[in-house]
């Protein structure tokens, strides 16, 4: 691990304010020009338990989390017990001197002396800022913005605690600090997590309607949009259940609102009949599924890539769909936009598949130039109606002319039954075949517009690592480290996992001596999908399903055994 | 020009003598009386014999999933409040499969008119008990008699202070058409629970059974009086009151959304200046 990369873990009970320290530190680091990868690990409870907020920071670009800890900020004793074995050789442990724990690598903070108990997280922030070499005003500004709207007395006390704790930390011996190399000329970047990027991507695409039922780790997508609903002119509605959510979104989309839903596995299970309805009525919709480990309630606040096959096969009947699996926060933004474009273009369900790791992972992101990003193709409301308008006219592409109800003299029908070209139900079995074929032909167009997988590395590598979605960063970093050891390595990352177009990647699979799939699930679902689609069998797999994200260390450790 | 003929004349898949024919006629009359042009009307339905209704009318229609007509209608109304949105489906669809959505629609007070074809039996699936089938009625699916008590939609809607609650009867077409006109004019959620016979599968609640019982509410009934309405809502047996049972003037759901004050959602382009400002707030 290069000395310039530092992994900072803040641990404690829920309710101790560790996320506040983490957020303020992350904001300060990004403003100082550093790259970060945040990993949040928490239990499904509001108070108590054990939670961590980990920031991996580097002056150079990073995209993966790290398992070993270089700086452990323990807000309770339990954090020390749980994580001391993860400390790197140069690791420091920052604790309350009252914990009565001692060691050469311990920084003993006199929290009682530095702050009243309720502000002790701010004291921790002050000490951390100095240990990392962050400018005082930078941290103070981030804090003031965060607490700005609360009462003045509190702001004042926070400032005093921050200043006092910084003054104390300035006197620390150099061996007990981990100053980051300064970034000269820091670039302006946004502090965004995956879910926020999905919400912003949706806004830029012109989303006008989101209905949802709260469920971790998807909820923050809806909350981000709800906060911007008034400014951006959209409707966010918390539905009575997920079934209502997707049917509401489909009704809204039919009537002209660019629509989406966001949920996780269990909620998506309730939505599945609606997916089929979207396909049959040819109604555009974007469905975000933020995965967590199942079956059933599973591990509600942890991560997994276990729902690929579920989403792929969701909905009864046979119909085309597209599934994106973004690998970076930026891809969350751009591929969500892409999902909206394709949903409108092909009039059906399009998916964005993410997970808890990415949902909660803050990164430093180059700002998007939204002025250059048009909203999805708007439907022309004032089209001069042809005399014989057919909503479901049989076409070569399978895409039929879509008009909206209420804007022309034509009446627009949509039916969950098999229907004729006018939308009215039919039991004419010859029409059934025409309609099924018409709908399925859209897969040809969708396939022609697939976002190709990203290949990096040697053209004919000894080792090819194949991955999809949120494992991209970890795989890239593992490959980079192997290359520095002189290994011949390539990586193949899929940010769209359906449809698959074998011509886009078979040369890479065939050109490598050894192919290894890296996935966050127990059975190698994507490797299986590759096999059923292409016949290519990736027998060597590195899988993880303990609820934690795949890291470069995890890949390197497990490569030995595959 | 709005005319009865303008709403079309279609061959239906319904049994001869089914109450659905009369309800369809009443709805057409109501649409003509309200002077609504077909392309301004959206009928959302679920699954069941009643849910086929929009296929027999020249209007916009969204014939969705069983039980899910109300959520789809809610989404459509929010997307374009200029549409006159009607939901038409049966007792099984609205009170059974879609029961949660029925409660939620009442709470929201979305400006949608819900016409429930209530024949106290499942017709499409051939004669099983519905949520409104009386306790003890024997069916092939409930050979020992229905073990549950029936759902009283009018009492539930009134108890929840729904915007507009009425009951009609397919045997009184003009009376029913008048109720539908009033329900559509009400700016908020409106329920018209419609008693109708099922000639094929309900041998208990026949046309004669309903005709004998369905009587207009007394002339001195004040639908704005909730306590009085609750008494009428619970009247069921030898006499089944029909007419407007309860109404109030709660603001409609869609009036709460600032986005809709600027017109239908589709007419509002993305404000990239505001979006750039939002992005800036993450820096």
Q: Is the separation of the CB atoms in A451 and A338 below 8 Å?
A: yes
Q: How many CB atoms lie within 10 A of CB A170?
A: 11
Q: Taking a C-beta distance cutoff of 8 angstroms, is the pair A210, A199 a contact?
A: no
Helix (H, G, I), strand (E, B) or coil at A211: strand
Burial B81-116 (b: 16+ CB within 10 A, else e): bebbbbbbbbbbbbbbbbebbbbbbbebbbbbbbbb
Helices (H), A171-290: 194-205, 219-232, 242-254, 265-281
Whole-angstrom distance, CA of residue A515 vs CA of residue A492: 10
| Mean pLDDT confidence for B208-227 | 97
Chain B hits for A230, Cβ within 8 Å = 258-259
* Shortest alpha-carbon distance between residue A395 and chain B (Å): 22
Q: Tell me the nearest-neighbour CA distance from B146 into chain A, angstroms.
A: 28
The pLDDT assigned to A496 comes to 98
- For B56-113, write each residue's pLDDT tens digit: 999 999 999 999 999 999 999 999 999 999 999 999 999 999 999 999 999 999 999 9
Residues B84, B42 contacting (CB under 8 angstroms): yes
Cα end-to-end span (Å), chain A: 23
Q: For residues A380 and A45, what is the distance between their CA atoms, to the nearest angstrom?
A: 48
What share of chain B has pLDDT > 70, as a percent?
Answer: 100
Q: Tell me the CA distances in angstroms from B101 to A125, A172, A342, A555, one per residue in order.
A: 48, 62, 30, 47
End-to-end CA distance of chain B: 57
Instruction: Provide the pLDDT for residue B179.
Output: 98
Q: What mean pLDDT is predicted for residues A410-422?
A: 96
What's the mean pLDDT in A316-336?
A: 98
Which residue among A200, A237, A412 places its CB closest to the CB of B60?
A412
Banded model confidence at residue A385, pLDDT cuts 50, 70, 90: low
Question: Is A235 in Cβ contact with B259 (below 8 Å)?
Answer: yes
Q: Choose among A324, A9, A359: nearest CA to A193.
A: A359
Residue A45 has pLDDT above 90, yes or no: no
Distance from CA of A127 to the nearest CA of B (A): 24
The nearest alpha carbon in chain A to B71 belongs to: A248
Q: Which residue has the tokens 């980990």?
A: A54
Please calculate the CA angle A255-A258-A259 and round it to the nearest 5 degrees. 95
What is the predicted pLDDT for the residue at A381? Answer: 67
Which residue has tokens 């000395």? Answer: A3
User: B114 pairs with which residues across the strands?
Assistant: B87, B191
**Interchain pair A251, B258: CB under 8 A:** no
pLDDT at A3 over 90: no
Q: Which of B32, B29, B57, B30 is nearest to B43 (CA)?
A: B57
Query: Are β-strands A496-498 and A106-109 bridged in parallel, bridged antiparallel, or unpaired?
Result: unpaired
Residue-wise pLDDT tens digits, A456-486: 999 999 999 999 999 999 999 999 999 999 9
Using only C-alpha atoms, chain A has a radius of gyration, in whole angstroms, of 26
pLDDT > 90 fraction of chain B, expressed in percent and rounded:
96
Cross-chain Cβ contact B63/A228 below 8 Å: no
Q: Does A281 touch chain B (CB under 8 A)?
A: yes
Contact B266 A209 (CB under 8 A): no
- In the DSSP assignment, the letter for residue B259 is G
Verify whether the Cβ–Cβ distance B72 to A200 is below 8 Å.
no
Output DSSP code: residue A396.
S
Q: What is the ipTM of this complex?
A: 0.98
Question: Among A368-382, A470-484, A500-514, B185-199, which is the least confidently predicted range?
Answer: A368-382
Strand partners, B214: B240
Q: Beta A35-41 vs A69-74: how paired, if at all? A: unpaired
d(CA A257, CA A237): 13
- Please provide the average confidence, as pLDDT, over all residues in chain B: 96
Is B79 in contact with A415 (Cβ distance < 8 A)? no
Q: CB under 8 Å to A410, separation ≥6 — which residues?
A: A385, A389, A403, B39
CA distance to A530, B120, B185, per residue, from A354 (Å):
19, 45, 45
Q: Name every residue whose Cβ is closer than 8 Å to that of residue A484 and which is 6 or more positions away in sequence.
A: none
Instruction: Give which of A228, A225, A234, A161 is closest to A198, Cα–Cα.
Output: A225
pLDDT (mean) for A270-292 = 98
Min Cα–Cα distance to chain B from A49, Å: 30
pLDDT digits (tens, 9 = 90+) for A139-172: 999 999 988 866 788 888 999 999 999 999 999 9
Give me the sign of the Cα torsion angle B155, B156, B160, B165: negative
pLDDT category at A276 given cuts 50, 70, 90 is very high
pTM above 0.90, yes or no: yes
d(CA A549, CA A101): 30
Beta strands in chain B (DSSP E): 41-45, 60-63, 84-90, 113-118, 164-169, 190-195, 214-216, 240-247
> Are residues B93 and B52 in contact, defined by beta-carbon separation less than 8 angstroms?
no
Do the Cβ atoms of A252 and B79 come within 8 Å?
yes
Instruction: With H, G, I as helix, E, B as strand and everything else as coil, classify residue A353.
Output: strand
Asked if A208 and B268 come within 8 Å (Cβ–Cβ), the reply is yes
Q: Averaged over A16-21, what is the pLDDT?
A: 92
Instruction: Work out the pLDDT band at A378, boundaries 50, 70, 90.
Output: low
Residue A10 pLDDT grade (very low, low, confident, very high; cuts 50, 70, 90): very high
Strand, helix or coil for residue A147: helix
Instruction: Report in angstroms the alpha-carbon separations of B238 from A453, B17, B180, B211.
Output: 71, 23, 25, 11
User: pLDDT tens across B125-141, in order?
Assistant: 999 999 999 999 999 99
Q: CA-CA distances (angstroms) from residue B148 to B123, B131, B135, B151, B258?
A: 19, 9, 6, 9, 44
Cβ distance A251 to B73 less than 8 Å, yes or no, reads yes
DSSP 8-state secondary structure symbol assigned to residue B166: E
Among A475, A459, A470, which Cα is nearest to A495's?
A470
Helix axes A329-346, A194-205, angle to 10 degrees: 40
Q: How far away is chain A from the Cα of B168, in angstroms, using its nearest Cα?
A: 27
Nearest to residue B89, comparing CAs of B116, B123, B65, B66? B116
Place of tokens 């809502």: B233
Q: What is the C-alpha separation between A246 and A270, in angstroms, rounded?
A: 9
A511 touches B at CB < 8 Å: no
Q: Which of residues 380-419 of A touch B (CB under 8 A)?
A: 381, 404-406, 408-417
Inter-residue contact B124 to B116 (CB < 8 Å): no
**Yes or no, beta carbons of A255 and B42 under 8 Å apart:** yes
Q: Select from B52, B60, B75 the Cβ nearest to the Cβ of A411.
A: B60
Chain A residues near residue B83 by CB distance under 8 angstroms: 255, 405-406
From chain A, the residues in CB contact with B93 under 8 A are none
Inter-chain contact B259–A240, Cβ cutoff 8 Å?
A: no
Whole-Å CA distances, A208 to A4, A259, A370, B272: 44, 6, 17, 14
Q: Shortest CB distance from B44 goes to which of A251, A273, A277?
A: A251
Contact B19, B197 (CB under 8 A): yes
Residue A118: predicted pLDDT: 83
* Alpha carbon of B226: minimum distance to chain A alpha carbons (Å): 26
Chain B residues whose CB is inside 8 A of the A253 CB are 75, 79
**Cβ atoms B85, B76 nearer than 8 A:** yes
């Amino acid at each position: 691990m290069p000395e310039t990369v530092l992994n900072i873990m803040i641990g404690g009970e829920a309710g101790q304010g560790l996320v506040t320290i983490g957020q303020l530190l992350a904001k300060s680091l990004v403003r100082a020009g550093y790259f970060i990868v945040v990993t949040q690990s928490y239990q499904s409870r509001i108070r108590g338990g054990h939670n961590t907020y980990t920031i991996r920071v580097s002056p150079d670009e990073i995209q993966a989390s790290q398992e070993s800890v270089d700086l452990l900020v323990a807000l309770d004793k339990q954090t020390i017990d749980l994580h001391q074995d993860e400390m790197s050789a140069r690791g420091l442990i920052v604790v309350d001197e009252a914990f009565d724990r001692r060691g050469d690598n311990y920084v003993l903070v006199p929290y009682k002396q530095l702050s009243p108990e309720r502000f002790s997280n701010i004291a921790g922030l002050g000490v951390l800022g100095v240990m990392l070499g962050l400018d005082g005003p930078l941290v103070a500004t981030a804090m003031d913005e965060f607490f700005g709207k609360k009462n003045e007395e509190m702001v004042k006390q926070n400032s005093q605690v921050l200043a006092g704790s910084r003054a104390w930390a300035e006197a620390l011996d150099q061996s007990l600090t981990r100053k980051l190399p300064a970034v000269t000329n820091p670039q302006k970047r946004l502090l965004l997590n995956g879910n926020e990027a999905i919400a912003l991507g949706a806004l830029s695409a012109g989303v006008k309607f989101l209905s949802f039922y709260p469920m971790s780790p998807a909820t923050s997508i809806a909350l981000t949009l709800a906060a911007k609903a008034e400014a951006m002119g959209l409707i966010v509605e918390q539905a009575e259940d997920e079934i209502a959510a997707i049917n509401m979104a489909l009704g809204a989309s039919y009537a002209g609102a660019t629509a989406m839903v966001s949920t996780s596995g269990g909620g998506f299970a309730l939505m599945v009949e609606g997916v089929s309805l979207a396909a049959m009525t040819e109604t555009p919709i974007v469905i975000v599924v933020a995965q967590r480990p199942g079956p059933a309630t599973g591990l509600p606040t942890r991560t997994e890539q276990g729902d690929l096959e579920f989403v792929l096969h969701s909905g009864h009947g046979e119909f085309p769909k597209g599934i994106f699996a973004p690998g970076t926060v930026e891809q969350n933004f751009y591929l969500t936009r892409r999902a909206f474009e394709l949903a409108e273009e092909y009039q059906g369900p399009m998916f964005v598949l993410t997970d808890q790791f990415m949902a909660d992972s803050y990164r430093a992101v180059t700002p998007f130039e939204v002025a250059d990003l048009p909203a999805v193709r708007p439907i022309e409301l004032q089209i001069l109606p042809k005399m014989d308008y057919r909503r479901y006219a049989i076409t070569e592409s399978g895409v039929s002319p879509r008009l909206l109800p209420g804007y022309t003299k034509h009446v627009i029908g949509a039916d969950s039954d098999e229907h004729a070209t006018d939308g009215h139900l039919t039991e004419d079995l010859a029409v059934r075949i025409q309609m099924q074929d018409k709908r399925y032909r859209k897969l040809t167009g969708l396939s022609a517009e697939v976002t190709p997988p990203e290949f990096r590395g040697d053209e004919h590598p000894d080792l090819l690592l194949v991955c999809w979605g949120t494992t991209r960063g970890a795989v890239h970093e593992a490959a980079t480290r192997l290359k520095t050891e002189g290994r011949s390595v390539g990586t193949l990352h899929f940010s769209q996992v359906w449809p698959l177009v074998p011509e886009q990647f078979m040369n890479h699979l065939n050109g490598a001596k050894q192919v290894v799939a890296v996935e966050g699930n127990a059975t190698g679902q994507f490797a299986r999908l590759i096999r059923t689609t292409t016949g290519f069998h990736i027998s060597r797999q590195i899988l993880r399903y303990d609820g934690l994200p795949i890291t470069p260390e995890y890949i390197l450790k497990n490569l030995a055994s595959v | 020009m709005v005319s009865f003929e303008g709403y079309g004349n279609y061959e239906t898949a319904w049994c001869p003598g089914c109450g659905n024919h009369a309800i369809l006629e009443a709805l057409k009359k109501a649409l003509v009386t309200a002077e609504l042009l077909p392309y301004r009307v959206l009928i959302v339905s679920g699954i069941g014999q009643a849910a086929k209704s929009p296929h027999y009318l020249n209007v916009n229609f969204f014939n969705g999933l069983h039980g899910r007509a109300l959520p789809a209608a809610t989404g459509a109304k929010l997307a374009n409040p200029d549409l006159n949105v009607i939901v038409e489906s049966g007792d099984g669809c609205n009170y059974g499969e879609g029961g949660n959505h029925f409660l939620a629609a009442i709470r929201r007070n979305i400006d949608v008119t819900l016409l429930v074809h209530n024949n106290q039996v499942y017709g499409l699936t051939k004669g099983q008990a519905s949520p409104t089938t009386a306790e003890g009625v024997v069916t092939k699916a409930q050979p020992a008699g229905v073990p549950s008590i029936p759902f009283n939609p009018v009492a539930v809607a009134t108890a929840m202070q729904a915007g507009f609650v009425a009951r009609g009867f397919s045997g009184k077409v003009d009376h029913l058409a008048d109720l539908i006109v009033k329900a559509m004019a009400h700016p908020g959620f409106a329920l018209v629970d419609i008693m109708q016979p099922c000639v094929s599968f309900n041998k208990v609640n026949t046309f004669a059974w309903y005709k004998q019982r369905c009587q207009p509410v007394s002339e001195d009934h004040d639908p704005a009086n909730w306590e009085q309405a609750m008494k009428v809502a619970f009247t069921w047996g030898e006499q089944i009151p029909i007419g407007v049972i309860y109404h109030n003037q709660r603001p409609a759901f869609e009036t709460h959304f600032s986005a809709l004050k600027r017109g239908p959602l589709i007419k509002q382009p993305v404000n990239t200046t505001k979006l750039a400002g939002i992005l800036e707030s993450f820096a």
